Amino acid sequence: MAGEGDIKLLGMVVSPFVVRVRMALHRKGVSYEYVEQDLFNKSELLLRSNPVNKKVPVLIHGGKPICESLVIVQYADEVWSGKGASIFPADPHERAVARFWAAYVDDKLFPAYIGIMKAATEEARAEKAKEALVVLANLEEAFAQCSKGKPFFAGDSVGYLDLAVGCNLFWLEAIRKMFGVTFFDVGKTPLLAAWAERFAGTEMAREVVPDADTAVVFAKKLQARFGSNTSAK
């Protein structure tokens, strides 16, 4: 990938939000220095770069930090507009729609599947699983509208909304392995199920996305550290 000066990415391998940014940078063909962070022992660089939320990812470009994954993806698409394929749609309405659904994914899908892992009872876990399936049903409809019969949310190739949803796939598989929750049902969400397979098969995803087992190991460490009562399969 092309070098673009002093670029660092502060992240965690198992963070879906970091994976989102790494896929975007890969798609733009931008090289960078990746600096892994410890969730339980945050570095001075991270605390200095993101003093408000103290979270990853943080992209540091020319000494200036940019925080929050969706913001970073947009920044990358604008700053390196001459590199790689465009991530955002050219049409203003399509861009607005993609931003709406990306925000929806972060507001609804991530809390639901993480809630499955954190749930203290089977009843609570079932409720969170139900929430996640409702989100995916809505995304099935969004895919039908946005893709217009093409392979990805953005059409013929991966775009902003594909990255926003796709970065969560390895965690959904990890939750399936741990608790037996099936998220993609070819009977209920056939378009999304087929899209997930296509997305996972892209060169970008194969290069960047970690194996689901990595997320499983991390999740069990969290459970052990915080004394979770959740039981995993």
pLDDT for the residue numbered 101: 98
- Contact at 8 Å (CB) between 8 and 65? no
Question: What does pTM read for this prediction?
Answer: 0.94
Which of these, 101, 85, 81, lies nearest to 93 by C-alpha position? 101
Domains of the chain from N-terminus onward? 7-80 (3.40.30.10), 92-221 (1.20.1050.10)
Exposure string over 156-195, b if 16+ CB within 10 A, otherwise e? eebbbbbbbbbbbbbbbbbbbbbbebebbeeeebebbbeb
pLDDT for the residue numbered 2: 42
pLDDT for the residue numbered 72: 98
Confidence of residue 4 (pLDDT cuts 50, 70, 90): low
pLDDT over threshold 50, residue 118: yes
Confidence of residue 222 (pLDDT cuts 50, 70, 90): confident
**Alpha helix positions (H), the chain:** 16-28, 44-49, 69-79, 92-104, 110-118, 122-147, 160-166, 169-179, 190-200, 203-208, 212-226
Q: By three-state DSSP, how is residue 90 classified?
A: coil
